[in-house]
Amino acid sequence: MDCMITKLNEKDQFISKIKNSDSTLGQFYQFDAMDENSYHTQLTATNNGREEALSEVIAHYMSDLTLSEQQSENLRLLSEGAKVIIGGQQAGLFGGPLYTFHKIFSIITLSEKLSKDYDTNVLPVFWIAGEDHDFDEVNHTYAYNAQQANLQKVKYHTMTPPEASVSTYYPDKEQLKETLGQFFQQLNETVHTKQLLKMCTSIIEQYDCWTDMFKALLHEVFKSYGLLMIDANDPELRKIERPFIKQIIEQHEAVDTAFRSGQKNTIDNGLDQMIQTETNVHLFLQEDNMRQLLTFKDDHFYLNKSDKYITKEELLNILEVEPERFSNNVVTRPIMEEWLFNTVAFVGGPSEIKYWAELKEVFHTLDVEMPIVLPRLRISYMYTRTQKLLAQYNLEARSIIKNGIAESKESFVRAQASQSLIDKVEALKIQQEKLYETLKDEVFDSNDNQLLLEKNNEIHQNQFDYLINRYLLNIERENAISMKHFNELSASLHPMGGLQERIWNPLQIMNDFGIDVFSPSTYPPLSYTFDHIIIKP
User: Does residue 11 carry a pLDDT above 80?
Assistant: no
DSSP 271-330: PPP------SS-EEEEETTEEEEEEEETTEEEETTT--EE-HHHHHHHHHH-GGGEEE-T
Instruction: Determine whether 434 is exposed, middle or buried from the number of CB atoms within 10 Å of its CB (0-12, 13-18, 19+).
Output: exposed
Residue 133: predicted pLDDT: 83
Closest CA to 213 of 92, 312, 101, 394: 92
User: Does residue 1 carry a pLDDT above 80?
Assistant: no
Structure confidence by residue, pLDDT tens digits, 167-192? 999 999 999 999 999 999 999 999 99
Distance CA 6, CA 530 (A): 10
Provide mean pLDDT across the span 379-396. 96
User: Does residue 293 carry a pLDDT above 80?
Assistant: yes
Provide mean pLDDT across the span 409-438. 94
Which residues are bridge partners to 140 per DSSP? 155
Residue 412: predicted pLDDT: 95
CA distances from 403 to 142, 328, 349, 492 (A): 21, 37, 20, 13
Closest CA to 196 of 184, 210, 213: 184
Q: Which residues, including other chains, have CB under 8 Å from residue 85's CB and lie 6 or more apart?
A: 107, 110, 111, 114, 122, 123, 124, 125, 343, 344, 345, 346, 347
User: Does residue 87 carry a pLDDT above 90?
Assistant: yes
Torsion of CA 239, 241, 243, 249, to 10 degrees: -120
H/E element, 183:
helix 173-185
Distance CA 301, CA 330 (A): 19
Q: Using pLDDT thresholds of 50, 70 and 90, give the confidence band for residue 278.
A: confident
Residue 445: predicted pLDDT: 84
Residues 31/372, Cβ–Cβ less than 8 Å:
yes
Residue 530: phi and psi, rounded to 5, are -85, -10
User: Quick one: residue 510, left, alpha or beta (phi over 0 = left, psi -120 to 50 = alpha)?
Assistant: alpha
Provide mean pLDDT across the span 275-297. 93
Provide mean pLDDT across the span 446-474. 94
3-state SS class at 375: strand
Distance CA 533, CA 380 (A): 6
DSSP 204-267: HHH--SHHHHHHHHHHHHHGGGT-EEEETT-HHHHHHHHHHHHHHHHTHHHHHHHHHHHHHHHH
Query: HSE of 323 in the Cβ direction (CA atoms, 13 Å)?
Result: 17
Q: What percentage of the chain reaches a pLDDT higher than 70?
A: 99
Structure confidence by residue, pLDDT tens digits, 101-153? 999 999 999 999 999 999 999 999 999 999 988 899 999 999 999 999 899 99
Closest CA to 364 of 24, 27, 25, 15: 27
Distance CA 197, CA 56 (A): 33
SS (H, E, C) 40-108: HHHHCCCCCCCHHHHHHHHHHHCCCCCCCHHHHHHHHHHHCCCEEEEEEECCCHHHCCCHHHHHHHHHH
User: Does residue 502 carry a pLDDT above 90?
Assistant: yes
Residues 486/458, Cβ–Cβ less than 8 Å:
no
Distance CA 373, CA 354 (A): 10
User: Does residue 159 carry a pLDDT above 90?
Assistant: no
Closest CA to 228 of 421, 29, 82, 41: 82
Q: What percentage of the chain reaches a pLDDT higher than 90?
A: 90
Distance CA 234, CA 167 (A): 8
Provide mean pLDDT across the span 501-514. 97
Q: Using pLDDT thresholds of 50, 70 and 90, give the confidence band for residue 5.
A: confident
3-state SS class at 5: strand
Amino acid identity, position 351:
S
User: Does residue 10 carry a pLDDT above 80?
Assistant: no
Distance CA 476, CA 410 (A): 9
Residues 94/249, Cβ–Cβ less than 8 Å:
no
User: Does residue 56 carry a pLDDT above 80?
Assistant: yes
Residue 240: predicted pLDDT: 97
Write down the mean pLDDT value for the chain: 95
Cα R_g (the chain), whole angstroms: 28
Structure confidence by residue, pLDDT tens digits, 312-367? 999 999 999 999 999 999 999 999 999 999 999 999 999 999 999 999 999 999 99
User: Does residue 12 carry a pLDDT above 80?
Assistant: no
